[in-house]
Amino acid sequence: MKRFTALLIALLLLLSMALIGCGVKDNKTDEPTGQSDTKQEETKKEDKKEEAKEETPATNDQVTNDPDVKVINLWSFTDEVPKMLDKFKELNPDFPYEIKTTIIATTDGAYQPALDAALASGGADAPDIFTAEAAFVLKYTQGDASPYAAAYKDLGIDVDNLLKEAEIAQYTVDIGTNPDGNLVGLGYQATGGAFIYRRSIAKDVWGTDDPAVIKDKVGPGWDKFFAAAAELRAKGYGIISGDGDLWHAVENSSDKGWIVDGKLNIDPKREEFLDLSKKLKDNDYHNDTQDWQDAWFADMKDAGAKKVFGFFGPAWLINYVMAENSGGSAPGEGTYGDWAVCEPPVGFFWGGTWVLANKDTRVPAAVGEILEWITLDSSETGLQYYWANGTLNGPGGTKDTVASGAVMSKSDGTLDFLGYQNMFEAFVPAGEFANGKNLTQYDESINIFWRDQVREYTAGNKSREQTLADFKQQVADNLDVIVE
Amino acid sequence: MRHKGVNYAKYGYIFCIPFILAFLFFSFYPIVYTTVIGFTDLKGMGRTDFTFLENPFQNFITILNNGSFRQSLKNTIIIWITNFIPQILLALLLTAWFTNNRHKIKGQGLFKVLFYMPNIITAATIAILFYSLFGYPKGPINDLFITMGIIDEPVYFLINKATARGVVSFIQFWMWYGHTMIILISGVLGINPEIFEASDIDGANNIQTFFYVTLPNLRTILLYTLITSLIGGLNMYDIPKLFLLGGPDNATLTTSVFIYNQAFSGSYMYNRAAAASMIMFVIIAILSGIIFFIMRDKDVVQLKKQKRKLKKELKNAENMVRRAVE
Amino acid sequence: MNKKKRASYYIWKIIKYITCIFLAILTILPFWIMLVNATRSTYEIQQNSISLLPSKYFMNNLQILLGKSFNPLKGFINSMIISGGATACTVYFSSLTAYALVAYDWKLRQSFFTLILAVMMIPAQVTSIGFYQFMYRIGMTNSFLPLILPAIAAPITVFFMRQYLISTLSLDIVNSARIDGAGEFHIFNRIIIPIMKPAIATQAIFAFVASWNNLFLPLILLTDKDKYTMPIMVSLLRGDIYKTEFGSVYLGLSLTVLPLFVVYFLLSKYIIAGVALGGVKE
Tens digits of per-residue pLDDT, A353-377? Answer: 999 999 989 899 999 999 999 999 9
Contact: A295, B138; criterion CB under 8 Å: yes
Q: Could you tell me if A14 lies within 8 Å of chain C, comparing CB atoms? A: no
Considering CB atoms only, which of B45, B248, B266 is closest to A456? B248
Convert the pLDDT of each residue in C6-39 to its tens digit: 788 788 888 889 999 999 998 888 888 888 888 8
Give the residue, A38 or A148, on which the prediction is more confident: A148
- CB contacts of A287 in chain B (<8 Å) are 137
Give the residue, B15 or A56, on which the prediction is more confident: B15
Intrachain domains A60-190+351-389 and A194-348+412-478 with the same fold:
yes
A69-98 mean pLDDT: 88
What b/e sequence results for A407-435 when a residue is b if at least 16 CB atoms lie within 10 Å of its CB, and e otherwise?
bbeebebebebbeebebbbbbbebbebbb
DSSP 8-state code for residue A356: E
What's the distance, CA B171 to chain centroid?
A: 16
- CB contacts of A290 in chain B (<8 Å) are 136
Contact: B264, A109; criterion CB under 8 Å: yes
Check whether A67 has a pLDDT greater than 50.
yes
Residues in Cβ contact with A78 at an 8 Å cutoff, skipping those fewer than 6 apart:
A103, A105, A353, C239, C240, C241
Residue-by-residue DSSP string for C142-208: T-SHHHHGGGG--HHHHHHHHHHHHHH--HHHHHHHHHTT--HHHHIIIIIHHHTHHHHHHHHHHHH
Mean pLDDT of chain B: 84
- The burial of B266, by beta-carbon neighbours within 10 Å (0-12 exposed, 13-18 middle, 19 or more buried), is given as buried
Peptide bond into B193 cis (omega under 30): no
Establish if B242 belongs to a structural domain: yes
Q: How many CB pairs under 8 A join A and C?
A: 98
Chain C interface, mutation test: which of A294, A317, A322, A400, most C Cβ atoms within 10 Å?
A294
Domain residues for the domain of B199 are: 38-315
Give the 3-state secondary structure of residue B25: helix
Chain A interface, mutation test: which of B43, B58, B265, B296, most A Cβ atoms within 10 Å?
B265
| Proportion of chain C above pLDDT 90, given as a percent | 16
Residue B205: give its domain's CATH number: 1.10.3720.10
Distances (CA, A) of B86 to A222, B22, B162, B177, B219: 51, 36, 17, 9, 19
Nearest Cα residue in chain A from B32: A15
Give the 3-state secondary structure of residue B179: helix
* Domains in chain A: boundaries: 60-190+351-389, 194-348+412-478
Q: What is residue B82's predicted lDDT score, i.e. its pLDDT?
A: 94
Q: Is the dihedral of CA A386, A387, A392, A396 positive or negative?
A: negative
Establish if B14 belongs to a structural domain: no
Residues in Cβ contact with A80 at an 8 Å cutoff, skipping those fewer than 6 apart:
A353
Q: Which phi and psi (to 5°) does residue A415 adopt? A: -125, 135
Q: What is residue C125's predicted lDDT score, i.e. its pLDDT?
A: 63
Chain A interface, mutation test: which of B27, B41, B68, most A Cβ atoms within 10 Å?
B68
CATH topology of domain A194-348+412-478: D-Maltodextrin-Binding Protein; domain 2 (3.40.190)
Residue C77: CA atoms inside 13 Å, Cβ hemisphere, count? 5
CA distance B316 to B321: 9
Q: What is the CA radius of gyration of chain C?
A: 24
Nearest Cα residue in chain C from B285: C121
Contact: A100, C225; criterion CB under 8 Å: yes
Give the 3-state secondary structure of residue B54: coil
Check whether B89 has a pLDDT greater than 80.
yes
- CB contacts of C9 in chain B (<8 Å) are 103
Convert the pLDDT of each residue in B190-202 to its tens digit: 888 888 888 888 8
Convert the pLDDT of each residue in B246-256 to its tens digit: 778 888 899 98
CA angle C176–C181–C182, rounded 5-degree value: 85
Contact: B266, A478; criterion CB under 8 Å: yes
Q: Could you tell me if C110 lies within 8 Å of chain A, comparing CB atoms? A: yes
CA distance C72 to A401: 34
DSSP 8-state code for residue A417: G
Instruction: List A residues 17-76 in contact with C (Cβ-Cβ < 8 A).
Output: 22, 25-26, 29, 75
pLDDT band at C68 (very low <50, low <70, confident <90, very high): low
Considering CB atoms only, which of A15, A305, A444 is closest to B24? A15
- Alpha-carbon torsion, ordered A263, A267, A271, A276, to 10 deg: -150
CA distance C239 to A1: 51
Check whether B46 has a pLDDT greater than 50.
yes
Side chain identity, residue A65: N
Angle in degrees, 0-180, between the axes of helices B219-234 and B67-98, rounded to the nearest 10? 150
Peptide bond into C231 cis (omega under 30): no
Q: Could you tell me if B245 lies within 8 Å of chain A, comparing CB atoms? A: yes
**How distant is the Cα of A321 from the closest Cα of chain C, in angstroms?**
6
Angle in degrees, 0-180, between the axes of helices A443-458 and A268-282, rounded to the nearest 10? 40
Mean pLDDT of chain A: 82
What's the distance, CA B89 to chain centroid?
A: 16
| Proportion of chain A above pLDDT 70, given as a percent | 86
Q: Is the dihedral of CA A397, A398, A404, A409 positive or negative?
A: positive
Q: What is residue A52's predicted lDDT score, i.e. its pLDDT?
A: 40
C16 close to C32: Cβ distance less than 8 angstroms:
no
pLDDT band at A51 (very low <50, low <70, confident <90, very high): very low
A225 forms beta bridges with none
What's the distance, CA C272 to chain centroid?
A: 17
Nearest Cα residue in chain A from C129: A113
Contact: A455, B159; criterion CB under 8 Å: yes
Q: Could you tell me if A118 lies within 8 Å of chain C, comparing CB atoms? A: yes
**How distant is the Cα of B48 from the closest Cα of chain A, in angstroms?**
9
Distances (CA, A) of A470 to A267, A393, A463: 17, 48, 10
Considering CB atoms only, which of A22, A77, A297 is closest to C46? A297
Establish if B290 belongs to a structural domain: yes
Q: What is the CA radius of gyration of chain A?
A: 26
Contact: B139, A453; criterion CB under 8 Å: no
Q: How many Cβ atoms from other residues are within 10 Å of residue A39's Cβ?
A: 16
Q: Give partners of C (≥3 CB pairs < 8 A).
A: A, B
Yes or no: domain A60-190+351-389 corresponds to CATH 1.10.10.10: no
Closest CA to C236 of A102, B190, A16: A102
Q: Which phi and psi (to 5°) does residue A302 adopt? A: 60, 30
A372 close to A150: Cβ distance less than 8 angstroms:
no
Q: What is residue C164's predicted lDDT score, i.e. its pLDDT?
A: 86
Give me the interface pTM, i.e. the ipTM. Answer: 0.84
Distances (CA, A) of A77 to A130, A137, A189, A387, C238: 9, 12, 16, 18, 11
**Which of A66-80, C50-64, C101-115 has the least mean pLDDT?**
C50-64
Convert the pLDDT of each residue in A415-442 to its tens digit: 889 988 988 888 878 777 777 788 888 8
Q: What is residue B48's predicted lDDT score, i.e. its pLDDT?
A: 66
Q: How many Cβ atoms from other residues are within 10 Å of residue A102's Cβ?
A: 23
Considering CB atoms only, which of C111, C223, C239 is closest to A78? C239
Distances (CA, A) of A37 to A34, A44, A47, A121, A337: 5, 10, 15, 11, 58
Convert the pLDDT of each residue in A303-320 to its tens digit: 888 999 999 999 888 887
**How distant is the Cα of A91 from the closest Cα of chain B, in angstroms?**
37
Closest CA to A406 of A107, A215, A191, A166: A166
- Alpha-carbon torsion, ordered A419, A421, A423, A425, to 10 deg: -160
Measured in residues, chain A has a length of 484
- CB contacts of B159 in chain A (<8 Å) are 455-456, 459, 461
CA distance B97 to B118: 20
Peptide bond into A220 cis (omega under 30): yes
- CB contacts of A123 in chain C (<8 Å) are 139
**How distant is the Cα of B38 from the closest Cα of chain C, in angstroms?**
11
Closest CA to A183 of A142, A151, A145: A151
Residues in Cβ contact with B148 at an 8 Å cutoff, skipping those fewer than 6 apart:
none
Check whether B203 has a pLDDT greater than 90.
no
Contact: B129, C26; criterion CB under 8 Å: no
Closest CA to B178 of B93, B76, B80, B78: B93
Contact: B277, C124; criterion CB under 8 Å: no
Side chain identity, residue C105: D
Considering CB atoms only, which of B21, B140, B186 is closest to C276? B186
Closest CA to B33 of B283, B285, B278, B258: B278
Distances (CA, A) of A224 to A218, A234, B322, C33, C176: 6, 16, 106, 46, 94
CA distance B96 to A77: 51
Q: What is residue C126's predicted lDDT score, i.e. its pLDDT?
A: 61
A239 close to A311: Cβ distance less than 8 angstroms:
no
Check whether A480 has a pLDDT greater than 80.
yes
CA distance C238 to C246: 8
Contact: B182, C121; criterion CB under 8 Å: no
**Which of A356-360, A395-399, B66-70, C241-245 has the least mean pLDDT?**
C241-245
Considering CB atoms only, which of B48, B135, B266 is closest to A293? B135
